[in-house]
Structure 1
Amino acid sequence: MAAAKATLTDSLSFCLAQLTAAAGEGLYGGKDPATNETPLGRALLALRTRHIKAAGGIERFRARGGLRPLLALLRRAAAADPAPSPAGPGSAPLSVASAASAGPSPSPNPASSAVSPSSPSPPMRLRKTLDLALSILANCCTEGACRAEVRRLGGILPLVTILQCVKTDSIQNRTARALGNLAMEPESCGEIHSAGAVPLLVESLTACQDSQCLQSVVRALRNLADSPQHRLALAQQGAVRPLAELLAAAPDPALTSALVRALLELSRGCTRACAEQLSLGGGLGPLVSLASHPKRMVRETTILILANLCAQGLVRPALGNAGGVEVLLGELRRRRGPSGASPASQQPLVRAVCLLCREAINRARLRDAGGLELLMGLLRDPRASAWHPRVVAALVGFLYDTGALGRLQALGLVPLLAGQLCGDAGEEEEEGREAASWDFPEERTPERAEAGSFRSLRSWLISEGYAGDVSPDWSPEHCPLPEPTDPISSTPGKTSLRTPGIPRTLGRSPAGPSALEEPWGREGPALLLLSRFSQAPDPSGALVTGPALCGLLAYVTGAPGPPNPRALRILARLTCNPACLEAFVRSYGAALLRAWLVLGVAPDDWPAPRTRPVRRNQHRELGEMLLQNLTVQAESPFGVGALTHLLLSGSSEDRVACALTLPFICRKPSLWRRLLLDQGGLRLLLTALTRPAPHPLFLFFAADSLFCLQGLVSPTMSPAFPAAVPVDVEPPSPCLYEPLLGPAPVPAPDLYFLLDSGLQLPCSASSLSNSHMDLVPLRGLSPSAAWPILHHLHGCRGCGAALGPIPLAGQPLLGSEAEEALEAAGRFLLPSLEEELEEAVGRIHLGPEGSPESVGEVFRLGRPRLTAYCARWTLGPARWLVEAAGEEAGPLTEALLSVVMGIES
C-alpha cells in the first residue's frame, strides 16, 4: 500500500510559521484553491489533530515557542469580533477588550481584502479560527509547564475577554475549558478571579443550552473553588444558585456528575451565602434524591454535600424536611457496618448528624429514625473517641425530650457520660457562628460571636435546678439561668440540706446581663446531661451506681483546677434524695464517698498508688457534707424503715452492705445500736470478713466502718490505739558506722560511695565483699535516703538511722525520701532494711497520735506489710465490738484476726 502523500501541514515548523504570520499580520489570509481553506486554518487544524495529540507534542509545541503566537492570535481575535456583548453586572470592564487588542496593527495585505463573494464571512471564519486556537490552548493547558508559560505571557486576560465578547456556545465551551485547566494551579486561579471571569461564567450557566458547554463552565467554577476565600467569592457572586437550578432541572447524567462535583467543592466549609443560594435554587430536594443514585460517585458526592450543608443552621430545617436526616443517618449506619468504610470517611457524617441535633424538628426525625442508638454506638466505640465530645454535646439537645432521655438512659448513657468526665477524648471542634441552632434565628446578634459552638452553651443552658413542666421539643439553648438555691429535702419535717459552696461569676447571656454564667469546659455537656438525669424523681438506678459515682468522684478529685460546681450539685442532689438512699447502701456508695473524699483512697489506688491533685481539705469537707446529707435521709422515718427492711429482709449481699454502711450514715445511738447490735448487723459484717469480698475495697470499707463505729460508741474518749508495730523498749543498738565519720576515723575508710549530687560518703571495703573499686556510684539516691543504707551495710541494726528519711506524721509519704529509701533497699536486695524502714514508717505515722489521713498516706505507698499495719491500726479498737456481738465473740475474734494476718502474709 502506497504511503500517504506528505503535506506541508505535516511539518510543525510550517504550522508554527503560519501561526506566527497570522498573529503578526492579520487573521484573514487568501484561500487555497486546492483545499478551499486558508493556510492558517489548515495549520491550526493540523496542530490540534496531529501535532498536539502526538506523544510529547504539547511539550514540543511549547519548546518551539508556539504559545506566544497562539496567545497573540487570540488577542487579535478577541479584538476583531464585530459584535461584543455588553458587559453585565460584575463583568470584566470594557477596557479589558481594548487592552487585549493592543499590539502592532496589521500590515496592508492585498490577500486579506481579496475575499471572494463565495467565501465564508469574516465573522464565521473568525469563529472557526477561535474554535481551533482555543481548543489547542485548552489541550496545552493540561500540562503544568504550559500553564505556567501561559500565565507568564499574560494569556488569562484574553480568555476572559473572549468569554465576555463572543457568546457562541462552542467558543464559550472551549474558553471555559481553557480557564478550567488553568485554574488547576493556585496562582492561575487567583488571576482568573482578579480578571473578573466568575460573573461571566455564571452568566454562561444561565444563557448556554449546550450540555458540553455547561459541563466546561461548571468544571471551571469547580476548579476556581480552590480555597475558602475563593469559595466565598464564588458564592457572593452568585455561582451556587444557577448550579442548583440546573440540578433541579434533571439534566443529563454527564452534566449531573459535573454539577454535584462542583457543588461539593463550593460547599466545603459551607458559607451562609452558599447554603442560601443552594436552598433558593431548589437544590435540596434533588440532592436528597441523588443520594440514592445508582452511580457510586454521584451518590457519595451528594451525601458529602448534604453533610457540608449541615454546618449552616439556616438550611438545616429545610434539609430535614427534604429527607436529609434519614439519608445521612442511613449512610453513617452503612459506613459503620461490618463492611463499612474507614473511620476517616465517617467523620463528616458524624459531624453532620451531631449538628442536626440542634433543631427540634430534626431531633424528632433523628429520634424516630434510630439516631439515638447510632449516637450511643459511637460513644461506646473506642475507635471513635475523637468524636465523643461532639456526640455528647449533640445529646445536650435532647435535654428536655423526656422520651429521648428515657431511651438514652435505657441504652446506658449515664456510665458513658461518667466515663467522659475524666477520659482522654479529644477536644470538641469549634464551629462557626453560623452553625448555631436555627430554632431562634431572630435572637442572633453580632456580639454573640461564639454562639455557634456548643462550648458557648454555658451562656444559654438552663441550670440543673430548673423546675416546672417543659415541652419535650424545647431546645435548652435560650433558657435563662436561675439564681442558685440549696436543694430541699422532700422528707416531711426536714429542713434544707447542705450543699457545696458554689462560686458563681456574672456573665452575659441571652437572658440579660444579670443572668449567672456557669463554668463550661470539656466536661460541661456531660455534666449537664448527668444533672438532668439527677433531677428525675428516682435517679438511683442510673446515677447511684459504682461506675457513675466513680466517674463523678474521679472528676471532682482529679480535675486540674476547681471542679465544675455542677458536679458538686449533682452529688448533693443525689444524697438529698430519699429515693437514692437504698441505692447508696447497696452500691457501697456511702463507704465510697468517705474513702475517696475523706480518707483520700480511690479504687484505682488499690493496690498501686496514684498521684492525684492535692486539695485534701476541700475534698474532706465535701465528703463530710455528702455523708451528712445521707444521715438526714437515714434518720428520717422513711430512712429508718428502708434500712431496717434491707438489714432484716434483703438479700445476703444487701444485708452485709447495709451493716457496713450504717456506721457512716447513722449518728443516733438508739438507731445504730438497734440495727447493729440488737438486730445482728455487726455479726453480719464480721462474718462477711471470712468470705469472698463482694467489692474490691470491701476490706478497707469494713475496717473504716468499724473505726467509725468505735467513734460512735466513745465520741468523747480518745481511742486507745495499739501500736501498729511492736515498740522496741530496749535502748538503741550501738552505731557501727559512726566511727568512720569522725575527724580521725577508725579504721580509715578505704572506699567511698559517690552520689548523684557529687557527695562522697566514706565506707569500709569489708562491708562490700565483692568490691574491687575505690569509688562506687550510688545512682538515684539523695544523701538522706542513702544514710540508712550505709548504716545497714556496716552492720547497724536499730541504731535509729532508719528514722532519718521518714517525714513527720501528717506530711506526704509519696515522693518523699522515705519512699526513695524503701525503693533503694529493694533494689539492693536488703530485705531486713526494708522491714526496718517500714517499721519506722509505722511507728511515726501509725502511732497513738495517728489520724485517718496518716493511714491514707501509709496505704498509698502500696507495700503489703504497711497495708497490714494500716488494717491492724484501723481494726485495733474493734476488739470490744467483737465482744459486743454476742455468743459468737470468740470465733468472730479469731476470724477478724485471721483476716489481718492474712493481709500481712
Structure 2
Amino acid sequence: MAAAKPTLTDSLSFCLAQLTAAAGEGPGGGKDPASNETPLGRALLALRTRHIKAAGGIERFRARGGLRPLLALLRRAAAADPAPSQAGSGSAPSVASAASGPSPSSDSTHSAGSPSTPSPPVRLRKTLDLALSILANCCTEGACRAEVRRLGGILPLVTILQCVKTDSIQNRTARALGNLAMEPESCGDIHSAGAVPLLVESLTACQDSQCLQSVVRALRNLADSPQHRLALAQQGAVRPLAELLAAAPDPALTSALVRALLELSRGCSRACAEQLSLGGGLGPLVSLTSHPKRAVREATILILANLCAQGLVRPALGNAGGVEVLLGELRRRRGPNGASSASQQPLVRAVCLLCREAINRARLRDAGGLELLMGLLRDPRASAWHPRVVAALVGFLYDTGALGRLQALGLVPLLAGQLCGEAGDEEEEGREAASWDFPEERTPERAEAGSFRSLRSWLISEGYAAGPGDISPDWSPERCPLPEPAEPVSPTPGQTSLQTPRTLRTQGRSPAASAAEEPWGREGPALLLLSRFSQAPDPSGALVTGPALCGLLAYVTGAPGPPSPRALRILARLTCNPACLEAFVRSYGAALLRAWLVLGVAPDDWPAPRARPALRSQHRELGEMLLQNLTVQAESPFGVGALTHLLLSGSSEERVACALTLPFICRKPSLWRRLLLDQGGLRLLLTALTRPAPHPLFLFFAADSLSCLQGLVSPTVSPAFPPAVPLDLDPPSPCLYEPMLGPAPVPAPDLHFLLDSGLQLPAQRAASAMASPFFRALLSGSFAEAQMNLVPLRGLSPSAAWPILHHLHGCRGCGAALGPVPPPGQPLLGSEAEEALEAAGRFLLPGLEEELEEAVGRIHLGPQGGPESVGEVFRLGRPRLAAHCARWTLGPGQCPRKRALALVGLVEAAGEEAGLLTEALLAVVMGIESDGKGPSLDC
C-alpha cells in the first residue's frame, strides 16, 4: 500500500508560519481573522496532535520561538471575544487593556454568504480552544513555564478566564494556569494577577466535571506556601471546594477535591477551618476515611488532622465522628504492621489537640484514647512527642474517672520520668489552637455564662483561687496553671507541719497571684498532673513509690534553674498526709529523702559519685523539713500504731524497711527504744544486711540508719573525729630485745630459736618461760626442748617471729608489732600479720594478739586507711578487729559515702556467716565494747 501523501501541516515550519501570520495581523489590518481560520485551524490542530506530542516536540516548539506568536494569538483571540466581563472585585484587568486595539468586527457579508460556516465568535473560540490546549501542554515542562512567564503570558490567561465563560475554555485556561503555578515565581504572579477570585467563580458556575477538576487542580497548585494558602482561604476558595465535596461528585473530582483540601489545610488557618465547616465538608471528610481508594483515605485523614489545629472547628469535628476516626487510624499506624513515626506525627498532634475540649475528651476516653496516649508515653521511640502528650493529659485534670484510669495505667511514674527528660522538638501551638471551651470572641460587657460561674465557684471552694477576681473567663488548663495553696496544711486536727522553705514562701500575696509568678517550663504540665494526684485522700499508691519520688527529687535537685514551687508543695503535701506514712516506710522513701537531699547522694551517685549543682544548703533545708513532717506523722497516735503494726505484723521486707526507717523519723526515746531495742527491730535490721538487697541504696540507707541510731543511743558522743596522731610521732616504748642482737649481747642469750628458714634468734630461757604458759611447759617442763639450747619453732617466718621474740622478752609498744603488718591496700589474709596473729594465739600470748590487732587497726583503720580496708581487716575473723571495723564504719564524724562503702565491704567479707558482724555492729550501736577494754581506733 502506498504511503500517505505528506501535507503542509506535517511541517513544523509551516505551522509556525501560520501561527506567526495570524498573530501578526493587527486588529485593523484589513483581513478578517475569520478569513484565515481554516489554514490556522489546521496548523493549530497539527501542532496539538502531532508536533507537541512527539518526542521532544515541546522543546522544539519553544526553541523555534513558537511561544511568542502563540501568546500573541491568545491575546488577539481573547480581545475578539465579545463576551462581557463577569469578574468581581480583584479580577484581572479589562479586555481593552490586554488587547492591542479594539476588537475586530465580524464580516457580516462573509457570514451571510457562507451559511454553513460557523459565526466568527464560534471560530474564534475554536482557535482559542486549540491555542490554550497547546499552551497548557507546553507548560508541563519547566523551560516553557519560565519562557511564558518571561513573555508575560500569565495576564492574557487571566483575561481569558475573566471574559470567556465557556466550559472548555475555562477548563484549558485553568489547566494552563495550574501548570504554570508549579513554578513558585509564576505562582506569585498568578496570585498578583487576580486569578483566584475568577477560579473560585468557576467552581460555582461550571457544571462540567473535567473543567472543575482543572480549576481544583489550579487552586491546589496555587497553595504552594503559607502566605498563598492564607490568601486562598481569605478569598473564599475553601468553601466552594467543601460544598462540591458535600455534593457527592464523581470519583475523579472527589479525588481532586481531597488533594486540593489537603494542600489548603496545611498549617490550617482560621479562615480555612471556618469555610470548610460552613461548606458542610466535615461530615463528607469523615465518611471519606473509609473510601476504597487508599490515596483518598490517607489524604482525608491528614485533612482532619490539619483541621484540629483550629479550636473553633474541633467540637464540630468531634460531632462528625472525627475523634474515633483519628484514634482508629493512629492505633492502626502504631500496630505491628503500622507506618513510620513520621506518618504518625500529625495524628499524634491532632489527638492531643482534641483533648482541649470537654466534649472531645469524653469521646476520646470512651474510644480508648487514654490507653493510646499512655502507649505513646511508654514508647521510647515517641520521646519527641512525650511533652505534647503530657500537656494533652492536663485536659483531664478534673475528670475523676479519667484520672483514675490514667493512674491505673501507670501515669504517675511516667510523669515523674518526664520531669528531667530531654525536651522534644515539638512546635508551639498558636492562640487559635486553644481550647474552644473558652472562645476568644467575647465582649467585656457580656454576662458571664452559668458554666463559668460554676467553675469559678468550684475553684474558690477548693482553694485554687482566693476570690472571684483571681480567675477570668479566659482561663484554660493549658494556658494558665492552676494556683495551689502556697503552704501545706496539716491534714489532721491538732497536728503541725513545717511551712515551705523561706526561699519559696509568698508574703502578703494571694495564692493565685503567687501561682502566676511560678515558672511554667516544659515540666509544668507534668507537675500540674502530679499535684492533682497528690491532692487525693490517699495518693500513696501512685506517688509514694520509688520511681515517682526519684523523679520528683531528680527534678528538684537537678533543674537548671530554680525548681517550680509546685514540686516542693507536692513533696510537702505527701509527707504531711498520714495516709502516706506507711508507703514512705515500705518504699524506703524517708531514707531516700535523707540520702538525696540531706546527704547529697542520689541513686545514680552510688557507688561512684557524680558532679551535681552546688545547692546543698537549700536541698538540705528541704530534706530536713520533709523528714520533720514525717516525724510529726510518725509520733502521732496513728503513726505509732502504723509503725508498730508494720514492725510486728508486716512481711519480712516491711519489717526490715520499718526498722531501717525508724531512726530517721522517730525522735521520742520511748518510741524508738520500744520498737528497735525491746521489740527487736535493730537485730532484725542487722540480720538483713547479708540478705539480697531490697533497694539499690539499701546498704547506704542501713549504714546511715545505724549511725543515726548510735547518735540517738549515745547523744553525748562528739560529732567529729578526734585529731589524728601520726604514727611516727607516737613515743615508742624502750625495746628490751634489741640489746641481745648486738656483737656483745646484754644479757647473754642462753637459748636460740631455730626457724624453718634456718635463722637462729637469741633468747633468754627464763624470760620466755615466764611470758607464756606454752613456753613455760616447753622450756621448763619435761619436754625434750627443756634440755636443748637450739629449740625449733615450726611454721613461722622471720617477720612473724620478730614480734613474738620481742614480746617474750618484755617489749610492749616498742613498734615490733607493726613489722609484719602490710601497708593499706594490700591484703591481710595470707600475710605475715595473719601468721603472727595465728602464732600469738598458738603460743598463748593474748597480750601480743591485742598488740598485733591494734597495729593492724592503726595502719588499716587509721587516717591513712580507707573504706576498702575495713573488709580486709574484718576478713581476719577476730572479734576485737570486727569491733574496730564497726566503730570505724559507724563513727559519728565519718563521711556518709565512706561509711556506706565500709559497710558494703563488711557485708561482703562476712558472707553467709553474719554472726560476728551482727554482734560487732550491735555492740557499737549500743555503746558496748565487745571485750570491755579495746583501744579506740578512731584516731
Give the TM-score category using the shorter length.
0.7 to 0.9
CA distance in 2, matches of 1:832, 1:112: 146
Fraction of identical pairs, as percent: 92
Give the Cα separation in 2 of the matches to 1:198 and 1:747: 126
Gap change, CA 1:736 and 1:713, over 3 Å in 2: closer
Match of 1:837 among 834, 852, 857: 852
Q: Are the equivalent residues in 2 in contact too, given 1:398–1:475 (CA < 8 A)?
A: no
Instruction: Tell me: CA distance 1:874–1:132, structure 2 relative to 1, closer, same or farther (3 Å).
Output: same
Residues in 2 aligned to 1:640 and 1:88: alpha-carbon distance in whole angstroms:
86
Q: Following TM superposition, by how much is the alpha carbon of 1:209 offset from its aligned partner in structure 2, in angstroms?
A: 0.3
Residue 871 (structure 2) aligned to one of 834, 847, 856: 856
The answer to whether the 8 Å contact 1:225/1:265 transfers is yes
Report the Cα distance in structure 1 between the residues aligned to 2:25 and 2:783, rounded to whole angstroms: 106
Paired with 1:481 and 1:460, the residues of 2 have a C-alpha distance of 12
Query: What residue number does 1:758 align with?
Result: 758
CA distance change for structure 1 residues 296 and 155 in 2, over 3 Å: closer, same or farther?
same
CA 1:390–1:884: 2 relative to 1, 3 Å: closer
What is the match of residue 452 of structure 2? 454
CA deviations 1:238-287 (Å, max 9, x no partner) are 00000000000000000000000000000000000000000000000000
> Does the CA contact (< 8 Å) of 1:845 and 1:858 recur in 2?
yes
C-alpha contact (below 8 Å) 2:34/2:123 kept by paired residues = no
Task: Name the count of aligned residue pairs.
Answer: 893
Worse-matched range after superposition: 68-77 or 888-897: 888-897
Deviation at 1:576, TM superposition (A): 0.3
Determine the structure 1 residue equivalent to 2:287. Answer: 289
- State the 1:486 CA deviation: 2.2
Q: Which moved more, 1:607-616 or 1:360-369?
A: 607-616
Cα 1:254–1:442 change in 2 (3 A) is: same
CA contact (8 A) 1:505 1:517 kept: no
If you compute each CA radius of gyration, which structure gives the higher value, 1 or 2? 2
Shift of 1:754: 53
Q: Deviations over 1:795-823 (max 9, x none)?
A: 99999999999999999999999999999
Q: CA deviation at 1:379?
A: 0.3
Partner residue of 1:352 out of 350, 353, 361: 350
Distance 1:39 1:376, change over 3 A: same
Shift of 1:346: 0.2
Shift of 1:673: 0.8
* Closer/same/farther in 2, CA of residues 896 and 777 from structure 1, 3 Å limit: closer
Cα contact 1:544–1:583 (8 A) shared by 2: yes
Structure 2: any 5+ residue segments left out of the alignment? 763-779, 893-906, 930-939
C-alpha spacing 1:412/1:247, structure 2 compared with 1 (3 Å): same
Q: Deviations over 1:374-408 (max 9, x none)?
A: 00000000000000000000000000000000000
* Contact kept in structure 1, 2:483 and 2:511, CA below 8 Å: no
Aligned to 2:583: 583
User: CA separation in 2, counterparts of 1:520 and 1:173?
Assistant: 55
Q: Is contact 1:78–1:97 with CA below 8 Å preserved after alignment? A: no
For structure 1, the residue ranges without an aligned partner over 5 or more in a row are none
1:83 Cα deviation (Å)? 1.8
How far apart, in 1, do the equivalents of 2:827 and 2:233 lie? 64
1:315 to 1:790, Cα distance in 2 relative to 1, 3 A: farther
Secondary structure of 1:752's aligned partner: strand
**677-686 or 631-640, which deviates more:** 677-686
Distance 1:65 1:715 in 2: 106
Hey, what's the Cα distance between the residues in 1 that align with 2:81 and 2:516? 70
In the other structure, the counterpart of 2:498 is: 497
Q: Which moved more, 1:775-784 or 1:637-646?
A: 775-784
Give the Cα–Cα distance (whole angstroms) in 2 for the partners of residues 105 and 817 of structure 1: 124
Counterpart Cα distance in 2 of 1:344 and 1:829: 82
C-alpha deviation, 1:506, in angstroms: 12
**TM-score scaled by length of structure 2:** 0.75
Mean alpha-carbon deviation: is it higher for 478-487 or for 559-568? 478-487
Aligned to 1:733: 733
C-alpha distance in structure 2 between counterparts of 1:448 and 1:786, whole Å: 104
User: Separation in 1 of the partners of 2:649 and 2:423?
Assistant: 44
Question: What corresponds to 1:476 in structure 2?
Answer: 477
Moved more, 769-778 or 840-849: 769-778
Q: Deviations over 1:755-813 (max 9, x none)?
A: 99999999xx9999999999999999999999999999999999999999999999999
Q: Are residues 1:35 and 2:35 paired?
A: yes
Change (3 A) 1:801 1:612: farther
Structure 1 window deviating more from structure 2 (427-436 vs 856-865): it is 856-865
Closer, same or farther: CA 284–671 of 1 in aligned 2, 3 Å: same
TM-superposed CA distance for 1:210, in Å, is 0.3
Deviates more, 1:706-715 or 1:498-507: 498-507
Seen in structure 2, the aligned counterparts of structure 1 residues 38 and 416 have a Cα distance that, compared at 3 Å, is: same
Shift of 1:875: 1.8
TM-fit CA distance, 1:191: 0.2
User: In the aligned structure 2, how far is the partner of 1:767 from the partner of 1:198?
Assistant: 129
In structure 2, relative to structure 1, the CA distance for the partners of 1:673 and 1:790 (3 Å cut) is: closer
State how far apart, in whole Å, the 1-side matches of 2:668 and 2:300 are: 70
Distance change >3 Å, CA 79–CA 603, structure 1 → 2 = same
**Bigger shift: 80-89 or 282-291?**
80-89
What are the Cα deviations for residues 715-735 of structure 1, in whole angstroms up to 9, with x where unaligned?
Answer: 344157589999564599999
> Conserved in 1, the CA contact under 8 Å of 2:23 and 2:72?
yes
C-alpha distance 132-336 of structure 1, shift in aligned 2 (>3 A): same
Q: 1:130 aligns with which of 124, 128, 131?
A: 128
Instruction: Give how far 1:189 is off.
Output: 0.1
TM superposition shift of 1:708: 1.0
After superposition, the Cα gap between the structure-2 partners of 1:164 and 1:888, relative to the gap in structure 1 and judged at 3 Å, is: closer
> How far apart are 1:425 and its partner, in Å?
3.8
Change (3 A) 1:108 1:205: closer
Aligned-residue offset at 1:707: 1.2
Offset at 1:6?
A: 0.5
Separation in 1, partners of 2:38, 2:741: 115
Say if 1:891 and 1:209 are closer, same or farther in 2 by CA, change over 3 A: same
Matches within 5 A, 1:543-692: 543-692=543-692
Q: CA RMSD in A?
A: 12.8
Cα distance 1:647–1:483, how it changes in 2: closer, same or farther (>3 A)? closer
Distance across 1 between alignment mates of 2:341 and 2:739: 71
CA 106–821 in structure 1, closer or farther in 2 if over 3 Å, else same: farther
Distance 1:803 1:781, change over 3 A: same
Task: Tell whether the 8 Å contact from 2:32 to 2:107 is kept in structure 1 after alignment.
Answer: no
Q: For residues 61 and 448 of structure 2, what CA distance do their matches in structure 1 show? A: 55
Preserved CA contact (<8 Å) 2:498 2:625: no
The alpha carbon displacement at 1:481 in A equals 5.0
Task: Report deviation, 1:40.
Answer: 0.2
* Alignment deviations for residues 418-450 of structure 1 (CA, whole Å, 9 cap, x no partner): 111111241542111100000011467999999
Q: Is the 8 A contact 2:452 2:473 kept in 1?
A: no
Q: Which deviates further from its counterpart, 61-70 or 502-511? A: 502-511
User: CA 1:53–1:785 in 2, change beyond 3 Å: closer, same or farther?
Assistant: farther
3-state SS of paired residue (2:178): helix
Q: Which moved more, 1:893-902 or 1:228-237?
A: 893-902
Q: Secondary structure at the match of 1:502?
A: helix
Provide the residue aligned with 2:919 in structure 1: 894
TM-score, normalised to structure 1's length? Answer: 0.78
